Amino acid sequence: MIFGSSALMNFRGFNCFSRISVAASKSPFPLINLGCTNSLFQKISKNNFQTLQPRFRKYKKAQKGRVPVRVGGSTKGNYLAFGNYGLRLKHGCRLRAKVLTTLYDTIRRKVKPAKLSKIYLRVFPDIPVTSKGSEARMGKGKGSIDYYAARVPKDKILFELGGPNLTLETAKEAFRIASYKLPVKTEFVVLNEHTKQPKEFPPTTPPFKHAK
């Protein structure tokens, strides 16, 4: 089945294209690229990434909730898993989907000269946040959905960068510029023997001893 340029503009399911890849890679579906200009493809990919929201939720709205505080020693998502460089948050916060999109565009613009570079987003905005009018009376149900956000705990890796042509200076500069758009402090992480996740972690509290 061959899609023309007009059909591409009306086609909603562009999940076959990588929205995180910086360099334009060859599509695994060459027939889809027939009649599709480069600018049109970039426009469609950009619009798809700007709509970061869950495709399906069991419940449309959610309670306000809080940013999780890990008191049990969990380190899930605190270490690099895909790339060689990462941006780690030093404080927990709630980030909007628009903020994540802005960070992605900023990092992409900086690492674009490095061919075959990839950006990995480690969080996803899946929490619906509602709002009501400033002068609305109390009651009459919950407000409408305003935006989607992600609750990011402390020491969580937000973005990762990888690629054969990506240098340390380029990745550090990209994350430095992106960190100014965040409301919390961040740190730059490099993949080496010190940042790899160890097999065992010491307990955060001393073990309980039974009284004799």
Q: What local confidence, expressed as pLDDT, does residue 134 receive?
A: 87
**Minimal CA–CA distance to 67: which of 146, 155, 144?**
155
DSSP 34: T
- d(CA 91, CA 78) in angstroms, rounded, equals 12
Sequence-ordered alpha helix ranges (H) in 3-143: 5-10, 38-50, 97-111
Fold of the domain spanning 69-133+141-198: Aldehyde Oxidoreductase; domain 3 (3.90.1170)
Q: Where are the beta strands (DSSP E) in the chain?
A: 85-89, 93-96, 118-121, 127-131, 144-152, 157-162, 186-190
Tell me what pLDDT residue 197 has.
52
pLDDT score recorded for residue 171:
94
Question: What is the rounded distance in angstroms from the CA atom of residue 149 to the CA atom of residue 211?
Answer: 47
Domain ranges of the chain: 1-51, 69-133+141-198
Cβ 33 vs Cβ 8: under 8 Å: no
Q: HSE-up of 83 (CA within 13 Å, CB side)?
A: 29
Name the residue among 173, 149, 151, 144 with its Cα closest to residue 161. 173
Q: Can you tell me the distance from the alpha carbon of 164 to that of 27, in angstroms, rounded to the nearest whole number?
A: 20
pLDDT for the residue 166: 93
Average pLDDT per consecutive 10 residues, the chain (212 residues; last block may be shorter) = 42 40 43 46 49 89 92 88 92 95 94 92 94 90 93 94 93 95 94 56 46 45
pTM above 0.75, yes or no: no
- At residue 168, the pLDDT reads 93
